[in-house]
Amino acid sequence: MRRYLYVGQVLGLLVGFYLVCALLVGGFVGLTVAAFAFGGVNRLSLLLAVVTLAAIFVVIRGVFVSTHVRTRDIVGVEATPAAEPALWARVRHLAQQVGTRAPRRIFLVPDVNAAVWENTRLLGLIPGRRQMMIGVPLLMALPPAQMDAVLAHELGHYGNRDTRLGGLVGRARAGVMGAVRAAGRRRKVELPGAVLFVAVFRWYAKIVLGVTQEASRAQELAADRVAGAIAGRANAVAALGEMRVIDAAYDFYLDRYATAGLRIGLLPPPPEVLGGFTALLADPSRRAELEKVRDEPDTGKSDPYDSHPPTTERIAALMALPDDGVPPDASGTRAIAVLSNPPDLLARVALRALEKESAGKQAVPWDALAQAAGLHGAQEQAKPLLEVVARLSGRPADLRSLVDLIAAGRFGEILAALPQNEAARKTGATGRVAREHAKTELGPMLGGWLLADAARTGRALWTHSWAKTGGDLQMAPELKAELNAAVNALLSVRPDAGPLRALALGPAVAA
């Protein structure tokens, strides 16, 4: 009975949304017609005409927004039964335990997420093809029993017929939110009447989201109970708790490792673009960091209109269930072992995920990527100083040019030409104070120059490291001491360019 009442509420809200749209457009059309009829062509009538057109645009964007998940929009690859028989066998087995039909298609995606859907017709009256999406980072990070909990949760939505209502709920939510986005989206020229349209549709959105949220959250808690019943309460709780940790680790991995070389035209080999995440998770120092994340309380504030309850609430609900005696998965294996050929699959998912970004990029081993990124970073650090030296000397910058400028008494001129740091700009520093600020900036620039010089001549080398995001710098201790001494001598109270001159006259002279 409650289900039918909920369906009636959502259907009423959807009809109400169309009614609000009709009243909004009809009201402005009526005002515009009246303005032209009684006042002719004037500023007011023209303004109302423009606002009416804007209202029609906003309404069209809301009424005709698509709620279907299109296969071509899925950033991932399809795992067919022929290609991944073990994965399909596992999903079908879990579906049988849930007491529902398995999905017709499974997609593997590069996200810390899993989901199910069916593109129903007639607002859910006619069922659609069941489809499932599984994030490969979850397969890489979770043990099999915890992955079973994730999949059982999603299949629980099928068993509870949540996806059948997805068309109706999705249409109600997507329509009103589409109108809000259409009205509020920033453009070069703001839509006339945008403030009014946003206010109206946000007001209605709060009503729609408020009504659907309670039912959506109840569905999530019910699916959690299914996960606990099939995979064990402890594994369902552990899987929920790990989501935050995996999400943080994966974002870190993508930003600092997998895509760090894009700006210099490099990528890891295709199997390693995503496959390296497994190695990062296994690194002892990273494991220690992730353990700290696990120990930190989950302070993330939930969106009041989020369809999912806060994770802490979901875990508490599971812990309130009777102990089923199923221990947490301590096998030490990872769920990705269910795939037939993980490296090949990960490579295909990565190529699909970075389809645009990887165009024209070169795939290189991790060590080569670390060396190229380290050299690029050092060169970028030195760039402002190189530009100043080239401009003042009138020739391509090298260490000898820098030493010659200093010997000619132009060190102060070099400092004055360097970009000011924020502290100098804020205080309007001049004279000796400005000089000290400039020397502070000069240190890293000169250090980067000397380091890049050493790397190009083979005396310094960056190697890949999961423990250090910038790679592990390999350099003879004696050389490191020489470079530091040259920088420190030049930045001292009485600048001494002697150590720098010794380096300039050595084997490394190129910029």
| Claim to verify: residue 293 and residue 382 sit in the same structural domain | no
Q: Is the dihedral of CA 31, 37, 39, 40 positive or negative?
A: positive
pLDDT in tens, 307-326: 678 899 999 999 999 999 99
pLDDT tier at 32, thresholds 50, 70, 90? confident
- pLDDT averaged over every residue in the chain: 85
Q: What integer pLDDT is reported at residue 314 of this predicted model?
A: 94
Decide if 243 is inside a domain: yes
Lowest mean pLDDT among 5-9, 312-316, 371-375, 457-461: 5-9
Show which of 363, 382, 417 is a domain's final residue. Answer: 363
Bridge partners (DSSP) of residue 472 are 463
Decide if 32 is inside a domain: no
Nearest CA among 395, 398, 371 for reference residue 385: 398
| Claim to verify: residue 394 and residue 499 sit in the same structural domain | yes
Query: What's the predicted TM-score (pTM) here?
Result: 0.80
pLDDT in tens, 258-273: 999 999 999 999 999 9
Residue 126 pLDDT exceeds 60 = no
| Distance, CA of 31 to CA of 389 (rounded, Å) | 68
Decide if 210 is inside a domain: no
| Claim to verify: residue 354 and residue 407 sit in the same structural domain | no
| Claim to verify: residue 118 and residue 255 sit in the same structural domain | yes
User: 328 is in which domain, residue-wise?
Assistant: 72-163+233-363
| Distance, CA of 59 to CA of 205 (rounded, Å) | 14
Decide if 323 is inside a domain: yes
| Claim to verify: residue 437 and residue 484 sit in the same structural domain | yes
Q: What integer pLDDT is reported at residue 8 of this predicted model?
A: 72
Which of the pair, 2 or 339, is modelled with greater confidence? 339
**Total count of domains within the chain:** 2
| Claim to verify: residue 270 and residue 141 sit in the same structural domain | yes
**Locate tokens 């996200």: which residue?**
111
| Distance, CA of 261 to CA of 360 (rounded, Å) | 13
| Claim to verify: residue 386 and residue 325 sit in the same structural domain | no
Decide if 341 is inside a domain: yes
| Claim to verify: residue 257 and residue 287 sit in the same structural domain | yes
Long-range pairs, 14-19, Cβ under 8 A, ≥24: 14/123, 14/168, 14/171, 14/172, 14/175, 16/204, 17/62, 17/172, 17/175, 17/176, 17/204, 17/208, 18/63
Which of the pair, 48 or 93, is modelled with greater confidence? 93
Mean pLDDT of 419-438: 79
**Is the distance from CB of 371 to CB of 455 less than 8 angstroms?**
yes
Bridge partners (DSSP) of residue 126 are 121
Q: What integer pLDDT is reported at residue 171 of this predicted model?
A: 61
| Claim to verify: residue 337 and residue 305 sit in the same structural domain | yes
| Claim to verify: residue 86 and residue 98 sit in the same structural domain | yes
pLDDT tier at 63, thresholds 50, 70, 90? low
Decide if 153 is inside a domain: yes
pLDDT tier at 488, thresholds 50, 70, 90? very high
pLDDT in tens, 170-225: 666 666 766 666 666 655 556 666 777 777 777 877 777 777 777 778 888 989 99
Nearest CA among 277, 261, 288 for reference residue 470: 261
Decide if 477 is inside a domain: yes
Long-range pairs, 94-100, Cβ under 8 A, ≥24: 94/148, 94/151, 94/152, 94/155, 94/230, 95/155, 95/158, 97/152, 97/230, 98/152, 98/155, 98/156, 98/158, 98/159, 98/226, 98/230, 99/159, 100/155, 100/158, 100/159
| Distance, CA of 262 to CA of 362 (rounded, Å) | 9
pLDDT tier at 57, thresholds 50, 70, 90? confident
| Claim to verify: residue 447 and residue 383 sit in the same structural domain | yes
Q: DSSP letter string over 180-233?
A: HHHHH---SSPPTTHHHHHHHHHHHHHHHHHHHHHHHHHHHHHHHHHHHHHH-H
Show which of 302, 334, 363 is a domain's final residue. Answer: 363
pLDDT tier at 165, thresholds 50, 70, 90? low
| Claim to verify: residue 333 and residue 384 sit in the same structural domain | no
Q: Which residues contact 444 (CB under 8 A, 6 or more apart)?
A: 381
Bridge partners (DSSP) of residue 117 are 131
Q: Is the dihedral of CA 333, 338, 343, 347 positive or negative?
A: negative
Q: Which stretch of DSSP H or E encloses residue 108?
A: strand 105-109
**Is the distance from CB of 297 to CB of 303 less than 8 angstroms?**
no
Decide if 169 is inside a domain: no
pLDDT tier at 510, thresholds 50, 70, 90? very low
Show which of 309, 328, 363 is a domain's final residue. Answer: 363
